[in-house]
């Protein structure tokens, strides 16, 4: 499975500041929101965004925030992110968006009234001719602006607006919070069904105890993870490194057989031979294999690891194009 990256052929356009917006990215259709995870509900919204962009003969642009405004306003209540900005931009590019603005959230932005935000961002900087939003869209200081006000502002500014209803799955709306809860519980299968791509984390490979190598299953010890981590367990997945993909078995949690208590993220890249120390690593979660537990002996542990790796490899092969 060591084929090249499956990212979109189109270059990812990620802008960090409004002054980077050129005339070619103005006069199009705009969607504003966090787009955390880029799930299937977001996909539906983006489909309408692209259709409206074509209608007004302009670009399709997503305006999002980095970090999430709640991290400045209510840091103790801020939800852990599902994606980082570069990943988000890549996923949106795959869906057909022309550019993503990851505005650096600051006190000035958060102090703007809903009207000031609309005039500054939508009218002046983006020169939008169309907008697409969900029914729960809020904007401006203290989230004072809602869709009702947005309809009024767009009408006065002669901007086409479409409000896209949320998407249902199993009688419940798909949302970033619902996906976050599934990941927290280790139900990466459910998360994958709601996302446009499997759930992914990233980190840096550091030196570990090298116990996996002595057991015949060398692992990459991944630290510095800046998104939500699935609960402790063993997972089937795949690892992305140096532009190639490798099937992977992932262990999250302490090594209970050796009486360890420290939570670790260890990734065994199936078939990979080279060193990864000091390298960045991105890891997709495809399916939950089992809970972690202590084993009566090292031999019993090795037998289970053989089974885990075999199962992980089989599952990863089914997701070559996902």
109 vs 208: which has the higher pLDDT? 109
Are 46 and 163 contained in the same domain? yes
8: in domain: no
- 139-183 confidence digits (pLDDT tens): 999 899 999 999 999 999 999 999 999 999 998 999 999 999 999
C-alpha distances in Å from residue 250, one per residue of 57, 204, 267, 285, 311: 46, 15, 5, 8, 12
Are 59 and 165 contained in the same domain? yes
Q: CATH number for the domain including 29?
A: 3.40.50.620
C-alpha distances in Å from residue 292, one per residue of 172, 233, 237, 252: 30, 5, 16, 8
Which residue carries 């409000």 as its tokens?
163
6: in domain: no
Structure tokens at 132: 């697409």
Are 123 and 235 contained in the same domain? no
1: in domain: no
71: in domain: yes
Confidence of residue 257 (pLDDT cuts 50, 70, 90): confident
The pLDDT of residue 242: 85
Q: E strands within the chain?
A: 14-15, 29-32, 60-66, 99-104, 130-133, 160-163, 168-169, 172-173, 199-206, 220-223, 233-241, 244-253, 264-269, 280-290
The pLDDT of residue 11: 80
- 21-33 confidence digits (pLDDT tens): 889 999 999 999 9
Of 149, 169, 189, which residue sits at a domain end? 169
Confidence of residue 1 (pLDDT cuts 50, 70, 90): very low
The pLDDT of residue 215: 73
Are 126 and 229 contained in the same domain? no
Q: What is the CA radius of gyration of the chain?
A: 22
Of 130, 148, 169, which residue sits at a domain end? 169
Q: CATH number for the domain including 284?
A: 2.40.30.30
**Could you list the residue range(s) of the whole structural domain that residue 55 is in?**
14-169
Are 211 and 92 contained in the same domain? no
User: Rounded CA gap, 274 and 91, in Å?
Assistant: 29
Mean of per-residue pLDDT scores for the chain: 91
95 vs 215: which has the higher pLDDT? 95
Are 142 and 204 contained in the same domain? no
186: in domain: no
Residue among 246, 248, 245, 280 at smallest CA distance from 266: 248
User: Rounded CA gap, 32 and 49, in Å?
Assistant: 11
Are 19 and 164 contained in the same domain? yes
The pLDDT of residue 5: 35
User: Rounded CA gap, 294 and 296, in Å?
Assistant: 7
Are 220 and 300 contained in the same domain? yes
Q: Domain count for the chain, please give it.
A: 2
Q: What is the pTM of this model?
A: 0.91
- 53-95 confidence digits (pLDDT tens): 999 999 999 999 987 777 777 777 788 999 999 999 999 999 9
Are 163 and 255 contained in the same domain? no
Are 77 and 137 contained in the same domain? yes
Confidence of residue 291 (pLDDT cuts 50, 70, 90): very high
Are 277 and 226 contained in the same domain? yes
Query: Has residue 105 got a pLDDT over 90?
Result: no
74: in domain: yes
Are 106 and 59 contained in the same domain? yes
Of 122, 151, 169, which residue sits at a domain end? 169
167 within 8 A of 147, measured Cβ to Cβ:
no
Region 281-301: mean pLDDT is 94
9: in domain: no
179: in domain: no
Query: Has residue 213 got a pLDDT over 70?
Result: no
């Amino acid at each position: 499975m060591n084929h090249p990256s499956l990212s979109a052929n189109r270059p990812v356009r990620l802008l960090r500041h409004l002054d980077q917006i050129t005339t070619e990215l103005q006069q199009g259709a705009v969607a504003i929101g966090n787009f955390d995870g880029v799930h299937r509900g977001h996909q539906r919204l983006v489909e309408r965004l692209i259709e409206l962009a074509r209608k007004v003969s302009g670009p399709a642009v997503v305006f999002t925030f980095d970090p999430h405004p709640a991290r400045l306003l209510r840091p103790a209540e801020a939800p852990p992110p599902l994606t980082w900005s570069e990943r988000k931009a890549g996923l949106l590019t795959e869906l057909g968006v022309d550019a993503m603005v990851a505005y650096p959230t600051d006190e000035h932005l958060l102090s703007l009234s809903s009207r000031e935000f609309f005039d500054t961002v939508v009218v002046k900087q983006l020169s939008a001719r169309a907008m697409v939003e969900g029914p729960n869209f809020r904007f401006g200081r203290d989230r004072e602006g809602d869709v009702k006000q947005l309809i009024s502002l767009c009408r006065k500014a002669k901007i086409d607006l479409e409000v896209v209803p949320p998407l249902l799955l199993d009688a419940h709306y798909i949302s970033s919070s619902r996906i976050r809860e599934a990941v927290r519980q280790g139900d990466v299968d459910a998360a994958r069904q709601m996302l446009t791509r499997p759930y992914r984390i990233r980190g840096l490979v550091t030196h570990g105890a090298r116990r996996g190598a002595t057991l015949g299953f060398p692992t990459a010890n991944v630290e510095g993870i800046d998104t939500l981590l699935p609960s402790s367990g063993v997972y089937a997945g795949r690892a992305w490194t140096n532009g190639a993909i490798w099937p992977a078995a992932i262990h999250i949690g302490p090594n209970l057989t050796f009486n360890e208590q420290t939570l670790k993220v260890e990734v065994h890249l199936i078939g990979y031979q080279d060193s990864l120390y000091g390298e960045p690593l991105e890891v997709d979660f495809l399916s939950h294999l089992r809970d972690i537990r202590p084993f009566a002996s090292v031999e019993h542990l090795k037998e289970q690891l053989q089974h885990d790796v075999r199962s992980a490899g089989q599952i990863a092969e089914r997701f070559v194009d996902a």
